[in-house]
């Protein structure tokens, strides 16, 4: 039984992207792993990329094919398929690449009594690693582990994720044997499903560790968040999911007064952005996605009731 199951959601429109990712998995300095690829009704089927691997080593490589459910649903399907007795799960998106020492570093940190691991990474199009770009994580404030680049995260991971997330999904490895029921929130496709996963593990008592080495490089395949900027096809969906995410937090977690204030402020900002996005769509004759707005109205009625005042405020702040 491998110690690590790698869960990889797959949805790509270009052939060959998966090969770079697979090469980074095969280059790992530890080989105690298996790979679960979940083809989420990809336009370019994963089977065409990994058929030979499945045939020659079916114990190490497994393909799951399903109707499209989005990244959270695909990861959940992979989590459902993790064999009993497998201790850890690592996440890797199908267009990202690991450094060769990623799993070795993760297993070293987790063996020191931790349950959750993440590492520095290069985000899409970036030349500076995420920790330095964001300025939200200072290693000297955390306890060093045996290797000079590994640290026990000694702050509040829930607070960190809520106010300034530093975790890249493709760097995460967690102790699945301890938290076998943990799943992603499938109602969130464009934002927030990964944050809730980290926050729930933090509140469940998971002990985090991290690496300051850049252990993942994000690729240019299909990326629902990177492809949903202002005025894009997916921007309204992203804003609706972000509002849904922030509205869900007070229902899911007990918060301090400061945390509640932060949630309210983030929600206000997103409601204004939603109003401006809808105005942009009206002016440019783009789809308003009424079905998505109807679902949002059930989750956050104020988002639509306050459209006009938020539009005025948003325009004033932009002028």
pTM of the shown model = 0.90
d(CA 182, CA 175): 10
d(CA 129, CA 165): 14
**Range 172-179 average pLDDT:** 98
Rg (CA), the chain: 20
**Range 123-147 average pLDDT:** 92
The per-residue pLDDT for 314 is 53
Q: pLDDT tens-digit profile of 88-108?
A: 999 999 999 999 999 999 999
The residue among 243 and 296 whose pLDDT is bigger is: 243
d(CA 2, CA 78): 15
The per-residue pLDDT for 158 is 98
Computed from CA positions of residues 308, 312, 318, 319, in that sequence, does the dihedral angle turn out positive or negative? positive
Chain mean pLDDT for the chain: 90
Angle between helical axes of 157-164 and 193-203 (0-180°, round to 10): 160
CA distances from 224 to 37, 127, 134, 205 (A): 18, 21, 21, 30
CA distances from 252 to 183, 190, 265 (A): 14, 19, 18
Structure tokens at 89: 């799960």
pLDDT bucket at 309, cuts 50 / 70 / 90 = low
d(CA 25, CA 267): 38
In this model, does residue 226 exceed pLDDT 60?
no
The per-residue pLDDT for 90 is 98
The per-residue pLDDT for 46 is 95
In this model, does residue 319 exceed pLDDT 60?
no
**Range 222-237 average pLDDT:** 60
pLDDT bucket at 254, cuts 50 / 70 / 90 = very high
pLDDT bucket at 283, cuts 50 / 70 / 90 = confident
Q: pLDDT tens-digit profile of 29-51?
A: 999 999 999 999 999 999 999 99
In this model, does residue 17 exceed pLDDT 50?
yes
């Amino acid at each position: 039984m491998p110690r690590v199951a790698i869960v990889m959601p797959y949805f790509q429109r270009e052939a060959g992207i998966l090969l770079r990712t697979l090469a980074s998995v095969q280059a790992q300095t530890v080989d105690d792993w298996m790979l679960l690829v979940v083809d989420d009704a990809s336009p370019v089927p994963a089977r065409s990329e990994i058929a030979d691997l499945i045939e020659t080593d079916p114990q190490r490589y497994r393909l799951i094919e399903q109707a499209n459910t989005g990244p959270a649903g695909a990861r959940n399907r992979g989590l459902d398929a993790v064999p009993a007795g497998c201790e850890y799960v690592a996440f890797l998106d199908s267009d990202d690449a690991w450094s060769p020492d990623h799993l070795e570093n993760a297993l070293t940190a987790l063996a020191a009594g931790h349950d959750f691991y993440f590492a520095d990474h290069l985000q899409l199009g970036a030349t500076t690693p995420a920790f330095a770009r964001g300025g939200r994580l200072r290693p000297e404030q955390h306890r060093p582990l045996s290797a000079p680049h590994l640290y026990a995260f000694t702050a509040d991971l829930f607070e960190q994720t809520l106010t300034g997330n530093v975790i890249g999904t493709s760097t995460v490895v967690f102790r699945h044997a301890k938290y076998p029921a943990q799943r992603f929130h499938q109602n969130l496709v464009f934002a927030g499903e990964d944050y809730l996963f980290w926050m729930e593990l933090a509140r469940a008592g998971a002990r985090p560790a991290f690496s300051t080495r850049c252990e993942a490089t994000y690729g240019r395949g299909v990326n629902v968040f990177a492809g949903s900027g202002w005025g894009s096809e997916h921007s309204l969906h992203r804003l609706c999911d972000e509002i849904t995410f922030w509205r869900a937090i007070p229902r899911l977690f007990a918060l301090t007064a400061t945390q509640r204030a932060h949630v309210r402020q983030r929600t206000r900002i997103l409601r204004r952005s939603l109003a401006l996005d809808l105005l942009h769509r009206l002016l440019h004759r783009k789809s308003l996605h009424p079905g998505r707005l109807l679902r949002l109205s059930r989750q956050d009625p104020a988002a639509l009731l306050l459209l006009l005042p938020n539009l005025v405020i948003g325009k004033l702040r932009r002028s």
